[in-house]
Structure 1
Amino acid sequence: MGENLQAAAAERCASVIGLAQELIRLPSRGGIDGYGPVLGVLEGWLAGRALPHRRLYDDTGALVGLLVEIAGGKPGPWWALDACMDTAPFGDESAWSFPPTAGDVVDGWLRGRGAADSKLAASVFCHIAADLHSHAAGLPGGLAVLLDVDEHTGGFGGARAYLNDPTAPRPAGVMIGYPGLEDLVVGGRGLWRAAIAVHAPSGHSGSSRTVVGAISRAAHLVRLLDAADLPGVDGASGFPLPPKLSVTAFHSGQGFSVTPDLCELNVDIRTTPAFDAHDAETLVRKAVAELDAELPAPRPTGITPVASWPPFRLATDEQPAAALLNAAATEGLVVRPKTAGPSNIGNLLAGEGIPATAGFGPVYEGLHGIDERVRLAELPQVYAVYHRAVLDLLHAG
């Protein structure tokens, strides 16, 4: 594309926007809609440009993604671009000021569910793959574009299928196309999640016999968890956020006349390098032991771990963070490295030993909410940043 990548990127933008519009007009809500139609549009676009691609399936045979692979003609590491093709639900459609599948451009904004997260990014990444394909023989390594349709479910089936595929070269790093122009997410807190079953004798609410029911025992456990002593920010590790504990679900009982014998809780703990999954589980087990000692029940409280992801954080001189930050500066953008409070697919990749970035893209509004839209004014710069970063990574390898 020559030295002026931004000028060349501007020429791509009409095509990038057009493909994104087609994708937005096809609903692909995670766990609600079928993904065949939206992936079919991408497959038609890729096939029309002779770009190597294939569908990804999980262990049950369910469709979970699409993988594009542009192999260079020389040895070298592979890098990956990742964008999800499934979306959040629409929510209350009557609250939207335009249809969630509008896919139109109004006053410089591309509108509709998935515009920000992350169908525009998917279109950008497919176009970059097409740009590289025309001169791939002279490049070392290769570029993979992962288009995941199991992201908003929390399953990340596309990423898992990609990493488990013995025929796919393992990436040296991944750049995830979440939106946001001012920050590049280079890290995130990890998590440890568990379901807790609190037991008690059941009984009639009007009985003369005093019974500490499961709800009361569970409420006491919540108080113990809320009072747990969590460490603050650990300056020695350089990780800028403290751990956090939240009780996110509380289920028990029916009607009025029975004190239930079971109350189920969900606990979500966001972890850091100084307070990891082992520490989180130890904290919860200590609180549960205290509950069972103070308010005994016929059955001990049960703890079922549900998920565990490690925290991650790249230094600004680590790849692929360095390549993206340098490319952004070259394109005249001031982008700050950021460690996010919520976890993201970067945590899954970190657990596999693969460095990842996220959260750089156009300005957006309404992500996961109503009136989702993304501003197109900076699209040429965003396109050029990712293209430049990919080229720098490939040539550096």
Structure 2
Amino acid sequence: MENLQDLKLRLIDEVENNKEELLDLCARLIQIPSVNPPGDTTEITELIENYLSEVNIAYEKYESADKMFNLVAKIGNGDGKELVYCGHTDVVPVGDLSKWDFDPFSGEIKDGWMLGRGASDMKTGLAGIIFAVKMLKKLNIELPGHLTLAIVPDEETGGEYGVPWLLERGLVTGDGCLIAEPSSYLNPTIGQKGSYWFELETRGEPGHGSLSPLAGKNAIVDAIRAIEEIRSLWDVNIQIPEEVQPLIDVSKKYMREVETDRLKYQEVLEKITVNIGTIEGGTKSNVIPDYCKVQVDCRLPFGITQEEVTAILTEKLDALNIDYSMKRFGFKSVANYTSAEDPVCQAIVDNISLVTGQEAYGVMQWASSDARHFRQYNIPVLQYGPAYLPSIHGYNEKVQVDAIIRCAKVYIAAAIDFLYKK
């Protein structure tokens, strides 16, 4: 057998020579509006099934909820380690169509950019891992162990019917995992902040608006007071654990030297961020509101638990002497990471450098992702995928075609390193 370096270089050339097939797959995925909610992935899953079947890749299909489908496919001889390549098929809603400069489901290429909802998050990354697995199968590369595709729905709402559903049932296991989520060019994300979403409800007493503030009890006013206390979570002093400080430091370096427009955001790595996302309350302007609901998204750094945040919030809100309740929903996790020295991190980082000829290193992500679920099951994981970061979840989402091809080259080469190296 040829040595691993020669094999990797040959496979990288194969990706380059077949890039039109890769880009066509990207376009076809984007053209299917797999928006979540509602999260119907029927059509996009069928497309992927047909694509895998072209080279007889076996797969299992699981309907975890109505019209939400997971696909698990494997190649390799099973004698060795297992590497999981994971991606989600759902995308966020497109919003106001009048604010798009192009059809969000066009999947067209213009001036070197792939256009459409999911171009960055994350249909081109999804296409890359599927394409890499198909190429390995088509070329009859004898892989030791298993390379597994885990293609999931229900990521964009933080739902439970994708990655966690598969892991809970033992339908996906592995010694390492790569999620093809959007990332920086040279910097995969090897750690994520925690998530703490909750809904605050304040309750008041109705009355005629002309008598306020002397009559009734205004639930919206009480919610405003509560919001000020909630926002003060940013000021909580948190001691970052010594073992993760190097990851924080290298991530700050990344924000200073690579994504320089993010320099001003360095503090978020060590702070509880607070976003007051929605407010709903009252019935009419001349009626004293008897209820108000506020939904809040907090992201937690290393060094603080969800229970500690709950205790801090409860103490602050109890002191206001208001009638309130608090309910958790959506994303729930603590900050988590995979060591840069883990074989799956080294395989991806080393092959980013091989493909680009530049230094690569892992960094911290200030948001949350499906990576947390893999780490809960002791599966080392990182994220690397094509992206134009400013367009994610926004209007005019796009990604550079070169980034799509580069990432596919990294995926195919990294699989060789991870599975062949002891």
Distance 1:96 1:258, change over 3 A: closer
Alignment of 1:54 with 2:77, yes or no, is no
Instruction: Give 1:347's match in structure 2, choosing from 364, 367, 372.
Output: 372
Q: Deviations over 1:261-309 (max 9, x none)?
A: 22222232211221121111111111121122xx5xxxx4212222421
Instruction: Give 2:299's match in structure 1, choosing from 270, 284, 293.
Output: 270
With 235-244 and 23-32 compared, the bigger mean Cα shift is at 235-244
Alignment of 1:329 with 2:333, yes or no, is no
Q: Secondary structure at the match of 2:210?
A: coil
Q: Secondary structure at the match of 1:371?
A: coil
Which residue is equivalent to 1:28? 34
With 12-21 and 367-376 compared, the bigger mean Cα shift is at 367-376
Q: Point out the structure with the larger helix share.
A: 2
Q: Which amino acid aligns with 1:216?
A: V
Instruction: Give 1:100's match in structure 2, choosing from 91, 98, 104.
Output: 104
Q: Which amino acid aligns with 1:279?
A: E
Q: Point out the structure with the larger strand share.
A: 1
Equivalent positions of 1:68-107 (< 5 A) are 68-70=73-75, 72-107=76-111
> For the residues of structure 2 that align with 1:77 and 1:200, how far apart are their CA atoms?
59
> For the residues of structure 1 that align with 2:199 and 2:387, how far apart are their CA atoms?
37
Q: State the number of aligned residues.
A: 388
Which residue is equivalent to 1:40? 46
1:350 deviates by 2.7
> For the residues of structure 2 that align with 1:369 and 1:227, how far apart are their CA atoms?
28
Which residue is equivalent to 2:125? 121
Q: Secondary structure at the match of 2:145?
A: strand
> For the residues of structure 2 that align with 1:223 and 1:364, how far apart are their CA atoms?
31
Distance 1:222 1:97, change over 3 A: closer
> For the residues of structure 1 that align with 2:172 and 2:42, how far apart are their CA atoms?
25
Which residue is equivalent to 1:202? 206
1:325 deviates by 0.6
Q: TM-score, normalised by structure 2?
A: 0.84
1:232 deviates by 4.7
Q: TM-score, normalised by structure 1?
A: 0.89
Distance 1:169 1:75, change over 3 A: farther
> For the residues of structure 2 that align with 1:227 and 1:395, how far apart are their CA atoms?
50
Which residue is equivalent to 2:14? 8
Which residue is equivalent to 2:193? 189
> For the residues of structure 2 that align with 1:329 and 1:43, how far apart are their CA atoms?
32
> For the residues of structure 1 that align with 2:288 and 2:152, how far apart are their CA atoms?
45
Instruction: Give 2:232's match in structure 1, choosing from 215, 227, 249.
Output: 227
Q: Percent identity?
A: 20
> For the residues of structure 1 that align with 2:145 and 2:47, how far apart are their CA atoms?
28
Q: Secondary structure at the match of 2:319?
A: helix
- Is contact 2:42–2:67 with CA below 8 Å preserved after alignment? no
Instruction: Give 1:314's match in structure 2, choosing from 338, 347, 370.
Output: 338
- Is contact 2:150–2:172 with CA below 8 Å preserved after alignment? no
- Is contact 1:230–1:244 with CA below 8 Å preserved after alignment? no
Instruction: Give 2:324's match in structure 1, choosing from 285, 289, 301.
Output: 301
- Is contact 1:190–1:310 with CA below 8 Å preserved after alignment? yes
Which residue is equivalent to 1:177? 180
Distance 1:370 1:268, change over 3 A: closer
Distance 1:253 1:339, change over 3 A: same
Q: Secondary structure at the match of 2:402?
A: coil
1:34 deviates by 3.4
1:169 deviates by 4.3
Q: Deviations over 1:216-244 (max 9, x none)?
A: 22211112222344125626241621222
Where do 5+ consecutive residues of structure 2 fail to align?
1-5, 249-268
Q: Which amino acid aligns with 1:155?
A: G
